[in-house]
Structure 1
């Protein structure tokens, strides 16, 4: 099958969409499919690198790394059309989605879209409050309803889209990860070296957040809850792994709360080293409610790291209470859950084993197979729709 994946954001940018695209691309290629990626050029110039088409773009200034395509049609898009893909799978709702619709219409092929981002959680500071949630819902509905199929990572997102009035088939397919990347062994020497580099003592108890440092991740809540944890475990350190636009504000909050000795911000780390931080930590913590799925939860589980997080529908079926972690619904529950795991070695080891077994449900190969099933179903529906009604009616009568 010839499959075109389109996305406004791609390598060298690092985020959940890029990770998902890479896993899908690699698995589909491994299965023998002809897969290409159409994306915006980080340099602003048209170029082709292997299976990747980078089209000319400029920065928008709306958000770091956000770009828009110029002009709308160019030589690379004509090359894509000449290649004649069987199906298009868009991953973002901006320039590349519009390009995808144009290509799909010209070739009369199905267009599937994965809805990765809950924009209603970003409106206040990305769009400066100009766009309301109702307007965002209308825009989303108008973008998605002309398509042939929608993919969401969780039922939470599916319900949200139905609430927006999206009427096209919505397929819930949890995004998979390359489990082997997080299930690598890590020697005690490597663990000690990471701690030494960060100024963490051998007796310190380590909890960690891994992800983009942005306002919607609600890391501020973790900082406000940390003092209660420290009252029971004076040696606790919170490790914040990642970079992003909210880092300076968090650093100021850390100073205001007097937590300088208990919080360590690493900044960006090489993607190949991320698993080491999960494995060095005893617990992964997260207070975000803006995730469509939350790949970092699965990364933590696949590293054998129990999770303590704020409850959100996106973790239903992922974090099982008392099995591989805890989800707190009230702030007062956070510290007791942390204490329960840190003070009970057997509980933590059992949760770690359970985390590893649960993570197997979210492999990138399982994810790609489900996506491929969706392609097959929309292709079949598209072919049937092209058969004249009279001919279909005649076929039905004959079968009877």
Structure 2
């Protein structure tokens, strides 16, 4: 049975990244399976209002103030009027939020539950438990997930982390990993240099991505291996540290910094290398590792978070998140490549058989089916759930929910649903026979369209 789904997050195109790619690919495959999917995110510099992507995916770029790393300023209630208008216009049944640090995601789930909609949340990150930022983020997550229908995590490590942070029942958390469009990451044996080993790094240049480790390790690797060159792609506040390191050690001729690259250009950068280096300090999954292996690169990465779950051992060399171990692991990988012990030419087909967005969409669809079969929860039951979140936090959460409910009642009175135009939907794709869903099951009445031939067929 097809559903009308709204995916909500602060993180979406044109910004590149793993969460952004995940939302786009999942939405595309769900549309291929006959579902209606829209994206709700904040406006970017050149994108405002409603846009249609090339495959017909509809995106609402809502004008909200961005405060840090593309996260909007949390207002709790000011998003409700426009969110309600979008939900009614598009006949949305399921709201699917992405990313723990997305304010729009948390607010959308709160408002959706107030409106009686089904909700789902996907966590893409790992967080600690001791520093002030993590404590606040965990309390916010507990608030949101106290009244969500189901949670999806991208790795088993991520699931354990989320269950502990939000005090969840593990049975309501599923693990559905990221995937890769293998056809977009074909290897090219002729693109890489035949005279020297090239190590590729594609990452946001932030502390949590291990940029400080990279700054410390590159001079030592270059000193140990005179024929090794680096290509570094990405942007961020740590880029200045890399540039200063190149100046200090005079490595400009061996380290090329190409700056930010669009997702469609990632493959062209990767195929120029032999090894992919990923020094991250924390990672829930690491889609870029799958993309690198698909391009035929030998992967050197830190053994943190969900990274050990991503690729089999013959494709990777693991290191502790320490300078010495990272240098040693990279040296081992360079030696393996030089001696021809690693069959990187086999990686692409192996990755293609392991990861598929179609499989991710099918598993997500089963989550939707499960939450739509569940019983609906009334306001008093919701308040009980929030009240149990803490001595002081519980009372604050209850107050937020009550105010949200009163705002909803006021909006229903001031702006009746009957006065909101229903948006015409993009034509749904016919569902393949292997998915066993007929055109009749696609239920066009959700779009406000009456299909007379259905009666004749019945």
Report if TM-score (shorter chain) is over 0.5. Answer: yes
1:72-114: per-residue Cα shift (whole Å, max 9, x none)? 23346313224332211011331242123212321x2221011
1:184-231: per-residue Cα shift (whole Å, max 9, x none)? x6483xx37xxxxxxxx7522101111212221112313423344334
Cα deviation for residue 140 of structure 1 reads 2.2
Q: Distance in 2 between matches of 1:222 and 1:43?
A: 31
Cα deviation for residue 139 of structure 1 reads 2.7
Instruction: Provide closer, same or farther for how the CA distance between residues 64 and 132 of structure 1 changes in structure 2, counting only shifts above 3 A.
Output: closer
Report the counterpart of residue 77 of structure 1 in structure 2: 84
Q: Distance in 2 between matches of 1:260 and 1:284?
A: 19
Q: Distance in 2 between matches of 1:265 and 1:354?
A: 26
Moved over 6 A (4+): none
Report the counterpart of residue 225 of structure 2 in structure 1: 233
1:112 paired to 2:115: no
Cα deviation for residue 258 of structure 1 reads 4.1
1:133-175: per-residue Cα shift (whole Å, max 9, x none)? 3343333222222211111111111111222243141111101
Among residues 363, 374, 394, which one is paired with 2:356 in the alignment? 363
Instruction: Provide closer, same or farther for how the CA distance between residues 58 and 165 of structure 1 changes in structure 2, counting only shifts above 3 A.
Output: closer
TM-score by length of 1: 0.82
CA RMSD in angstroms comes to 2.6
Report the counterpart of residue 9 of structure 2 in structure 1: 7
Q: Distance in 2 between matches of 1:268 and 1:313?
A: 25
| Unpaired segments ≥5 residues, structure 2 | 53-57, 379-458
Among residues 59, 65, 73, which one is paired with 2:70 in the alignment? 65
Aligned residues, how many? 361
Cα deviation for residue 232 of structure 1 reads 4.5
TM-score by length of 2: 0.72
Report the counterpart of residue 102 of structure 1 in structure 2: 111
1:325 paired to 2:316: yes
Q: Distance in 1 between matches of 2:90 and 2:367?
A: 22
User: Given that residues 231 and 257 in structure 2 are in contact (C-alpha distance below 8 angstroms), is that contact kept between their aligned partners in structure 1?
Assistant: yes
Cα deviation for residue 339 of structure 1 reads 2.8
Report the counterpart of residue 146 of structure 2 in structure 1: 145
Cα deviation for residue 132 of structure 1 reads 4.3
Report the secondary structure of 1:39's partner residue: strand
1:240-295: per-residue Cα shift (whole Å, max 9, x none)? 11222221122113333443333211101232221022111101111102211111
Q: Distance in 2 between matches of 1:187 and 1:338?
A: 18
1:341 paired to 2:341: no
Instruction: Provide closer, same or farther for how the CA distance between residues 266 and 19 of structure 1 changes in structure 2, counting only shifts above 3 A.
Output: same
Report the counterpart of residue 184 of structure 2 in structure 1: 181
| Unpaired segments ≥5 residues, structure 1 | 124-128, 193-200, 387-400
Report the secondary structure of 2:271's partner residue: helix
1:27 paired to 2:29: yes
Q: Distance in 2 between matches of 1:43 and 1:261?
A: 35
Q: Distance in 1 between matches of 2:74 and 2:42?
A: 7
User: Given that residues 42 and 62 in structure 2 are in contact (C-alpha distance below 8 angstroms), is that contact kept between their aligned partners in structure 1?
Assistant: yes
Report the counterpart of residue 293 of structure 1 in structure 2: 285
Q: Distance in 1 between matches of 2:49 and 2:275?
A: 43
Instruction: Provide closer, same or farther for how the CA distance between residues 227 and 335 of structure 1 changes in structure 2, counting only shifts above 3 A.
Output: farther
Q: Distance in 1 between matches of 2:357 and 2:175?
A: 15
User: Given that residues 233 and 258 in structure 2 are in contact (C-alpha distance below 8 angstroms), is that contact kept between their aligned partners in structure 1?
Assistant: yes
1:309 paired to 2:301: yes
Q: Distance in 2 between matches of 1:82 and 1:26?
A: 21
